[in-house]
């Protein structure tokens, strides 16, 4: 390491988290600590703190810096990888400047030999979420090929298990976990979108960490293109978590003077298990100026109600039914434009179809608005069907390996527009702008229904540029139409990340409306996203994507914890179903202030046959006790309800909707039928719990707790 200077140790603290940087060498600041708050005056002395040097390693301690460097002996994944024609491949940065305030550090680095500069930015506020971004600059006079620029953070040896998410269409956000042994657990997403299988949040924690216990460290990358996340443990035992964009060969070549930034990495720590992590993430997400502040309106989405069968009469009747149930936003899904009578044609032709809408969308919009609902419209702006007027006019606007090369394999019969071409970008922006200007549309469901494959721009990999272009497109559209809300959909939840959410207001979590599948998907997506950002719809009795049939009670309890909607031809619903739906929607509307602002809690389940989740706020809570499969025990153990105020007494009642419990119980504990429920303290509910009825698989009990 270089000679020490007068530069300081720099300590950021916020939300119970500390980050301690050692900036006393002349090189890249070392991350001495990221995790539990170290308190006032961290009191670390670098010579004492430096790690031991092992036999046969380099003779000086190898720093784990903000940008780990091979040049100093780091043998794990380096923070910056690139070259200039095979040279300048192992930079060694010198610290130029460090500016620190109570919640941010900005570090300037330079390598005068490799002719590179790097800016590292770290922000930590009271939410406990540390945001980190690095920007590399080519200060030379020849191009620099950037292969990787990543955010790396240390985790201690006791963080010996890792958990991340994976999934597929209709089965997003499923956890997988393993021991973190020597080597790297690397996830690489090459879908050109965040991906159904996105790791979403990569967690390292102490052995056996759970929802409510264990020490955990987590990272998320706010990026909607190709990306990589990893957890690594080196031979010296040191662990790291890393996130960065996954760049294709020659995808980013920095011209002299040019720079490239990583997406923001969002890192947090908790000693309260996964609930502690999600509490920090939710706090941060909710603190953003762009976070939706208005009441989340109950939605009806037409997709599973009518699919491509658009008809003014039918949709007007559907709107009537929806409004009578208490729906507040009516979203017309795919099928309203061009030749889009099925998914083989029409994408790209963003003109209202004269065939199905001879008088335009005006009459439906007026009808919907006349019923007191807002009107939303589905679009998929980045895509084109080869069978479309747009493609016939501009086949050159499609992402492909190089101009003139064969098209990439179709997916859902569609290709991806190259929005890095300004003519294509301007055309799509113009069409969307016109739609929003000419019609009273206050909401777009913005879809993206395929992976990007061999997606080249001008003969070079194009996902990086495409991702930035789509962000620009959204930003410009929002600038022109600031009151229009946008939902991020990508064949369900394949574009759910904090990059797209900087410019959208809701995520369509999954195309699967099967309540049983949704229980798992929503639980894990909720690790990052607060409930108000997650679109959750009550579908028809038999789920279209799985063929499972569920009671309305189970479907309703499953959907009402998020941003509630219906996706069902409710014209067909019977009288009893309509009564329940009316009550469920009214219930959600009464309680959405709690549901959309409270703290999500999920006690660790005793076995995998059930789970419990809830939202807790000042003096009030809603919990769902959910039977996923048949229980191994004849009588379920009392359910522990954490997160409440120990010293307050709560009246606990099962919520009844339309005069009947949302679920059918077989043998009920006595409190369930008592008109006033049962009164227990927060401490009792946390420690001894609440006796619950025996539920059949795929039933759920909704509990409402109000403090005295
Ligand atoms: C995707 C979306 C669905 C629906 C269809 C329309 O699959 O995820 O919700 O909008 O497209 O084609």
pLDDT number for residue 510:
98
Please give the Cα distance from 657 to 251 (Å, whole number). Answer: 56
How does residue 661 score in pLDDT terms, banded at 50, 70 and 90?
Answer: low
Ligand 1 centroid, distance to 689 Cα (angstroms): 42
In 3D space, the residue among 175, 228, 236 whose CA is nearest the CA of residue 51 turns out to be 236
Half-sphere exposure at residue 79, Cβ-oriented, CA atoms within 13 angstroms: 32
Average pLDDT over the chain, rounded to whole? Answer: 95
* 108 Cα distance to chain centroid: 30
Among protein residues, the one whose CA lies closest to atom 2 of ligand 1: 491
| 511 touches ligand 1 (CB under 6 Å) | yes
Work out the burial of residue 546: count CB atoms within 10 Å of its CB; fewer than 13 is exposed, 13-18 middle, 19 or more buried. middle
| 278 touches ligand 1 (CB under 6 Å) | no
Among protein residues, the one whose CA lies closest to atom 11 of ligand 1: 491
Give the pLDDT mean for 285-303. Answer: 97
Share of the chain above pLDDT 70, in %: 96
pLDDT number for residue 499:
98
Residue 320 has pLDDT above 80, yes or no: yes
Q: In DSSP terms, which residues pair with 565 in a beta bridge?
A: 299, 537
Half-sphere exposure at residue 186, Cβ-oriented, CA atoms within 13 angstroms: 12
Please give the Cα distance from 85 to 111 (Å, whole number). Answer: 17
Ligand 1 centroid, distance to 512 Cα (angstroms): 11
How does residue 353 score in pLDDT terms, banded at 50, 70 and 90?
Answer: very high
Residue with tokens 């330079």: 110
Please give the Cα distance from 259 to 170 (Å, whole number). Answer: 38
* 386 Cα distance to chain centroid: 31
Helix axes 575-595, 312-325, angle to 10 degrees: 60
In 3D space, the residue among 553, 702, 689 whose CA is nearest the CA of residue 624 turns out to be 702
Residue 660 has pLDDT above 80, yes or no: no
pLDDT number for residue 69:
97
DSSP string, 533-582: GEEEEE--SB-TTT--B--HHHHHHHHTTSEEEE-S-GGG--HHHHHHHH
Among protein residues, the one whose CA lies closest to atom 12 of ligand 1: 334
398, 407 Cβ separation under 8 angstroms: yes
Please give the Cα distance from 491 to 191 (Å, whole number). Answer: 12
| 337 touches ligand 1 (CB under 6 Å) | no
Which of 304, 341, 489 for a ligand 1 pocket mutation test, highest count of atoms within 8 Å of Cβ? 489
Please give the Cα distance from 638 to 687 (Å, whole number). Answer: 10
Q: In DSSP terms, which residues pair with 132 in a beta bridge?
A: 122, 265
Ligand 1 centroid, distance to 202 Cα (angstroms): 28
Please give the Cα distance from 49 to 32 (Å, whole number). Answer: 8
pLDDT number for residue 662:
58
Which atom of ligand 1 lies closest to the CA of 511?
A: 8
Q: In DSSP terms, which residues pair with 110 in a beta bridge?
A: 94, 117
Q: Please name the residues in contact with 606: beta carbons below 8 A apart, sequence gap of 6 or more.
A: 637
Give the pLDDT mean for 226-234. Answer: 97
Among protein residues, the one whose CA lies closest to atom 5 of ligand 1: 334
Give the pLDDT mean for 342-348. Answer: 98
Ligand 1 centroid, distance to 529 Cα (angstroms): 21
Which of 194, 334, 343 for a ligand 1 pocket mutation test, highest count of atoms within 8 Å of Cβ? 334
State the greatest distance between any 2 C-alpha atoms of the chain, in Å, as a whole number. 81
Please give the Cα distance from 39 to 451 (Å, whole number). Answer: 46
| 335 touches ligand 1 (CB under 6 Å) | no
Please give the Cα distance from 133 to 126 (Å, whole number). Answer: 19
How does residue 3 score in pLDDT terms, banded at 50, 70 and 90?
Answer: very low
Ligand 1 centroid, distance to 492 Cα (angstroms): 7
**3-state secondary structure at position 459:** coil
Which atom of ligand 1 lies closest to the CA of 449?
A: 1
Q: Where are the alpha helices (DSSP H) in 273-421?
A: 273-287, 303-306, 312-325, 362-370, 389-393
pLDDT number for residue 664:
54
Which is catalytic among the residues 451, 511, 583, 604? Answer: 511
pLDDT number for residue 2:
40
Distances (CA, A) of 685 to 606, 643, 672, 681: 16, 9, 15, 6
How does residue 518 score in pLDDT terms, banded at 50, 70 and 90?
Answer: very high
Ligand 1 centroid, distance to 491 Cα (angstroms): 6
Which of 378, 451, 514 for a ligand 1 pocket mutation test, highest count of atoms within 8 Å of Cβ? 378
62, 68 Cβ separation under 8 angstroms: no
Residue 544, φ and ψ in degrees, nearest 5: -70, -30
| 380 touches ligand 1 (CB under 6 Å) | no
Threshold 0.75, pTM exceeds: yes
470, 478 Cβ separation under 8 angstroms: no
| 522 touches ligand 1 (CB under 6 Å) | no
- Could you tell me the two tokens for 631? 């229980």
Ligand 1 centroid, distance to 545 Cα (angstroms): 12
Ligand 1 centroid, distance to 504 Cα (angstroms): 17
Please give the Cα distance from 540 to 300 (Å, whole number). Answer: 12
Give the pLDDT mean for 269-291. Answer: 98
Strand-pair category, 9-14 with 17-22: antiparallel
Q: Please name the residues in contact with 270: beta carbons below 8 A apart, sequence gap of 6 or more.
A: 16, 128, 215, 216, 276, 277, 279, 280
Share of the chain above pLDDT 90, in %: 91
Q: Please name the residues in contact with 68: beta carbons below 8 A apart, sequence gap of 6 or more.
A: 74, 76, 77, 78, 79, 152, 240
- For residue 217, count other CB atoms closer than 10 A to its CB: 26
How does residue 694 score in pLDDT terms, banded at 50, 70 and 90?
Answer: confident
Please give the Cα distance from 430 to 588 (Å, whole number). Answer: 38
Ligand 1 centroid, distance to 384 Cα (angstroms): 15
Angle at 334 between CA 329 and CA 335, to 5 degrees: 120
Q: In DSSP terms, which residues pair with 87 in a beta bridge?
A: 84
Residue 370 has pLDDT above 50, yes or no: yes
How does residue 256 score in pLDDT terms, banded at 50, 70 and 90?
Answer: very high
pLDDT number for residue 6:
58
Please give the Cα distance from 494 to 447 (Å, whole number). Answer: 10
| 378 touches ligand 1 (CB under 6 Å) | yes
pLDDT number for residue 402:
97
Residue 1 has pLDDT above 60, yes or no: no
User: 511 catalytic, yes or no?
Assistant: yes
Which atom of ligand 1 lies closest to the CA of 491?
A: 8
Residue 47 has pLDDT above 70, yes or no: no
Please give the Cα distance from 72 to 404 (Å, whole number). Answer: 46
In 3D space, the residue among 200, 195, 247 whose CA is nearest the CA of residue 219 turns out to be 200
pLDDT number for residue 665:
56
Please give the Cα distance from 438 to 410 (Å, whole number). Answer: 33
pLDDT number for residue 4:
42
Give the pLDDT mean for 471-494. Answer: 98
Q: For the segment 176-202, what is each residue's pLDDT rounded down to a tens digit? A: 999 999 999 999 999 999 999 999 999
- Could you tell me the two tokens for 299? 């939605």
Q: For the segment 584-639, what is each residue's pLDDT rounded down to a tens digit? A: 999 999 999 999 999 999 999 989 999 999 999 999 999 999 999 999 988 889 99
Please give the Cα distance from 514 to 509 (Å, whole number). Answer: 12
Give the pLDDT mean for 233-241. Answer: 94
Strand-pair category, 116-124 with 130-138: antiparallel
DSSP string, 171-184: EEEEEEEEE--SEE
| 449 touches ligand 1 (CB under 6 Å) | yes
User: 343 catalytic, yes or no?
Assistant: no
Helix axes 422-438, 463-480, angle to 10 degrees: 30
Which of 172, 310, 331, 333 for a ligand 1 pocket mutation test, highest count of atoms within 8 Å of Cβ? 333
Residue with tokens 């048949």: 630
Q: Please name the residues in contact with 17: beta carbons below 8 A apart, sequence gap of 6 or more.
A: 34, 35, 36, 37, 124, 128, 130, 268, 269, 280
pLDDT number for residue 477:
98
169, 141 Cβ separation under 8 angstroms: no
Ligand 1 centroid, distance to 307 Cα (angstroms): 9
Distances (CA, A) of 254 to 139, 259, 261, 363: 10, 6, 11, 52
- Could you tell me the two tokens for 308? 């491509």
Please give the Cα distance from 213 to 677 (Å, whole number). Answer: 30
Ligand 1 centroid, distance to 447 Cα (angstroms): 7
Which is catalytic among the residues 125, 197, 418, 447? Answer: 447
Please give the Cα distance from 684 to 664 (Å, whole number). Answer: 26
Among protein residues, the one whose CA lies closest to atom 9 of ligand 1: 511
Which atom of ligand 1 lies closest to the CA of 378?
A: 10
Residue 416 has pLDDT above 80, yes or no: yes
| 303 touches ligand 1 (CB under 6 Å) | yes
DSSP string, 231-281: EEE-TTS-EEEEEEE-PPTTSEEEPTT-EEEPPPEEEEEESBHHHHHHHHH
- Could you tell me the two tokens for 630? 């048949």
Which of 347, 449, 518 for a ligand 1 pocket mutation test, highest count of atoms within 8 Å of Cβ? 449
């Amino acid at each position: 390491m270089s000679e020490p200077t007068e530069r300081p140790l720099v300590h950021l603290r916020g939300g119970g988290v500390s980050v301690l940087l050692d900036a006393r060498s002349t090189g890249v600041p070392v991350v001495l600590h990221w995790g539990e708050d170290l308190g006032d005056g961290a009191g670390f002395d670098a010579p004492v703190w430096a790690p031991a040097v092992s036999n046969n390693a380099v003779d000086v301690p190898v720093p784990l810096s903000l940008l780990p460097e091979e040049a100093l002996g780091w043998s794990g994944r380096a923070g910056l990888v690139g070259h200039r024609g095979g040279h300048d491949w192992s930079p060694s940065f010198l610290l130029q400047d460090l500016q620190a305030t109570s919640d941010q550090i900005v570090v300037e680095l330079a390598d005068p030999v490799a002719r590179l500069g790097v800016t590292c930015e770290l922000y930590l506020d009271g939410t406990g979420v540390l945001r980190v971004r690095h920007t590399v600059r080519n200060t030379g006079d020849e191009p620099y090929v950037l292969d990787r620029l990543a955010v790396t953070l240390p985790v201690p040896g006791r963080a010996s298990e890792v958990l991340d998410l994976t999934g597929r269409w209709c089965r997003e956000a499923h956890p997988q976990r393993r021991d973190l042994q020597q080597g790297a657990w690397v996830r690489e997403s090459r879908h050109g979108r965040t991906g159904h299988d996105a790791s979403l949040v990569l967690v390292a924690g102490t052995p056996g960490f759970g929802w409510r216990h264990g020490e955990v460290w987590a990272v998320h990358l706010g990026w909607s293109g190709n990306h990589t996340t990893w957890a690594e443990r080196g031979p010296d035992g040191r662990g790291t978590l890393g996130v960065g964009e996954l760049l294709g060969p020659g995808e980013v070549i920095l011209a002299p003077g040019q720079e490239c930034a990583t997406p923001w990495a969002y890192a947090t720590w908790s000693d309260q298990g996964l609930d502690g992590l999600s509490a920090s993430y939710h706090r941060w997400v909710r603190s953003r100026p762009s976070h939706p502040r208005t009441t989340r309106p109950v939605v009806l989405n037409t997709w599973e109600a009518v699919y491509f069968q658009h008809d003014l009469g039918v949709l007007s009747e559907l709107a009537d039914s929806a409004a009578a149930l208490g729906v507040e936003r009516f979203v017309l899904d795919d099928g309203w434009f061009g030749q889009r009578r099925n998914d083989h044609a029409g994408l790209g032709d963003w003109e209202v179809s004269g065939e199905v809408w001879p008088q335009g969308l005006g009459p439906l919009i007026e009808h919907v608005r006349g019923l007191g609902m807002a009107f939303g419209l589905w679009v998929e702006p980045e895509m084109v069907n080869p069978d479309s007027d747009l493609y016939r006019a501009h086949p050159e606007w499609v992402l492909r390996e190089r101009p003139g090369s064969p098209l990439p394999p179709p997916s859902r019969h569609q290709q991806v527009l190259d929005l890095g071409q300004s003519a294509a970008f301007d055309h799509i922006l113009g069409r969307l702008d016109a739609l929003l200007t000419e019609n009273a549309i206050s909401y777009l469901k913005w879809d993206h229904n395929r992976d990007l494959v061999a997606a080249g721009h001008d003969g070079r990999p194009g996902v990086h540029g495409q991702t930035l272009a789509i962000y620009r497109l959204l930003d410009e559209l929002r600038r022109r139409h600031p009151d229009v809300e946008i939902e991020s959909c990508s064949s369900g939840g394949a574009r759910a990340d904090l990059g797209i959410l900087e410019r959208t207001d809701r995520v369509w979590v999954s195309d699967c409306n099967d309540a049983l599948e949704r229980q798992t998907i929503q639980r894990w997506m909720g690790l990052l996203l607060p409930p108000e950002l997650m679109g959750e719809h009550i579908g028809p009795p038999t789920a279209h994507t799985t063929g499972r049939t569920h009671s309305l009670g189970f479907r309703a309890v499953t959907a009402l914890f998020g941003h509630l909607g219906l996706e069902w031809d409710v014209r067909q619903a019977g009288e009893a179903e309509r009564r329940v739906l009316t009550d469920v929607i009214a219930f959600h509307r009464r309680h959405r202030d709690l549901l959309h602002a409270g703290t999500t809690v999920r006690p660790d389940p005793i076995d995998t046959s059930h789970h419990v989740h809830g939202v807790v706020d000042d003096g009030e809570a809603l919990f769902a006790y959910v039977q996923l499969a048949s229980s191994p025990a004849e009588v379920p153990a009392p359910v522990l309800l954490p997160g409440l105020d120990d010293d307050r007494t709560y009246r606990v009642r099962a919520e009844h909707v339309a005069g009947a419990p949302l679920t059918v119980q077989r043998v009920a504990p006595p409190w369930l039928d008592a008109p006033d429920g049962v009164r227990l303290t927060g401490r009792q509910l946390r420690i001894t719990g609440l006796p619950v009825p025996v539920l059949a698989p795929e039933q759920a009990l909704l509990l409402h707790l109000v403090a005295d």
